[in-house]
Amino acid sequence: MKKELDFKTMAPAIIAAVGGAENIKTHTHCMTRLRLVLADKKKANEEELKAIEGVKGVIDQAGQYQIVIGPSVEQLYNEMLPLLPETGAEAPVNENLDGDTKENAVSKVFAFISGCITPTLPVLIGSGLISALLAIVKFMNPAATETNTYVLVNALAQAAYSYLPVMVAFAGARRLKTNEYVAAFVMLALCSGTISGVEELDLFGIALTKVSYTSNIVPALLMVPVMAVLDRQIMKVLPDAVKSILRPFILGLVMFVLTLLILGPIGTIIGTALANFCVWLTSFGGISMAVLSALHPLLVMVGMHTIITPLIVNEITTYGSSLLFTKALAANLAIAGAALAVGVKAKKAENKQTGISTGVTALLSVTEPALYGCLIRLRKPLISAIAAAAITGIFVGMFDVRAYATASCSFLTLPIFLGGTMQNFVLACVAAVIATVLGFVITWFVGFDE
């Protein structure tokens, strides 16, 4: 009951601190943050926001005003919804709110990609956990893979990646304020067995490049912006009397043809380049993974960690596993270890309580409370966690430890490292212990100022 009352108090306080409901153009949330696009950022009072009980941090990044809450963000968001305009209840739009500068153009691209990927993360996490469960079943009883139950549940797990382009197109279309159902309709057609990966197809006598649309999010990311531009032109030209009939017809047909002839092949080229980039990036073994693992907490701090998600998804769908994703295991548990060390060593009761509670939360995969409530505030523990993550990154890079699905990395989700050899899983478990212990030990000996 107390928590419910807190959310009811927090919701109007947050809205007032960002300049009122009329200053919020669009609003959404991820697993731990409110993500707002404000009409005028100058009206937001960051200090007032940070003073609200329950707000762990504020980030102005990639066109979004991100307010860090923690795992209970959805409950808070539900309290805010009745106080906000219904038209804003969608993923943030891809608009330049601060002028046409090169920096903002790059920021808009990152914001668009992040805005398309972030809404799909719950599905990918759910799929990853189901895949992990199936991996455990397969390890304990290999014959179970032949049963109908295993096959059916596996179909559920694989659907998340097979139809990920459909979800990305839907999220992207909603973000750009075009018809998300038409976008999904086009991508569903492209992902069908009649088209995806089929050779020797032609359209109007024009030979089509073989493109695998299932699991390939790049064509969807290219299609949606073009569709949004086309949609606006159609709305200007068509008479009101026929818009509801002809708009989806023209939009769907034209985007289907454009994607088959142009955007799909371009997307394949980009996807191949991304896959090759991942191979190059991880070819340096321990060095590259040390850098990536050390950077992960910093990317989480500024809300840019989802930018790497397309690379990870592309890596898994292309090669069946991801070395890049293992950086999150190293970083998350290093953060957990550092926070727990603060909880054990701190003299102030507040720091003890915060360290223990956020450390346990980080062990269970949600690291923002530990980062904002403990490590950033005390500074030295953050540096210690980064060092621990880097050392663990060297380990996972040297031994090529790979994830076979995606989920929020923690001790609970270690089964996502099943799928290859048993050695890979054991090494992942060892890496988890190394990260946690190093995070704790380095923080303990480096110390911190309270």
Q: Look up the pTM and report it.
A: 0.70
Residue 124 has pLDDT above 70, yes or no: yes
Instruction: State the pLDDT at residue 301.
Output: 78
Among 327, 332, 313, 447, smallest CA distance to 381 is for 447
CA 282, 286, 287, 288 dihedral sign is positive
**How far is residue 372's CA from residue 55's CA, in Å, rounded to a whole number?**
9
Q: How many CA atoms lie within 13 A of 336 on its CB side?
A: 22
Instruction: State the pLDDT at residue 281.
Output: 77
For 16-50, the pLDDT digits (tens) are 999 998 888 888 887 788 888 888 888 888 889 88
For 263-314, the pLDDT digits (tens) are 999 988 888 888 788 778 777 878 999 999 999 888 887 666 767 777 888 7
With a CB cutoff of 8 Å and minimum separation 6, the contacts of 25 are: 37, 38, 39, 88, 92, 93, 95, 97
Does residue 298 or residue 424 have the better pLDDT?
424
Confidence of residue 93 (pLDDT cuts 50, 70, 90): very low
Instruction: State the pLDDT at residue 104.
Output: 62
Confidence of residue 96 (pLDDT cuts 50, 70, 90): very low
Confidence of residue 89 (pLDDT cuts 50, 70, 90): low
Determine what percent of the chain is predicted with pLDDT higher than 90.
33
Highest mean pLDDT (candidates 141-145, 407-411, 433-437): 433-437
Angle, helices 240-258/180-190, rounded to nearest 10 degrees: 30
CATH architecture of 2-85: 2-Layer Sandwich (3.30)
For 310-349, the pLDDT digits (tens) are 788 878 878 888 898 899 999 999 999 999 999 999 888 8
For 149-186, the pLDDT digits (tens) are 999 998 998 898 889 899 999 999 988 889 999 999 99
**How far is residue 197's CA from residue 214's CA, in Å, rounded to a whole number?**
8
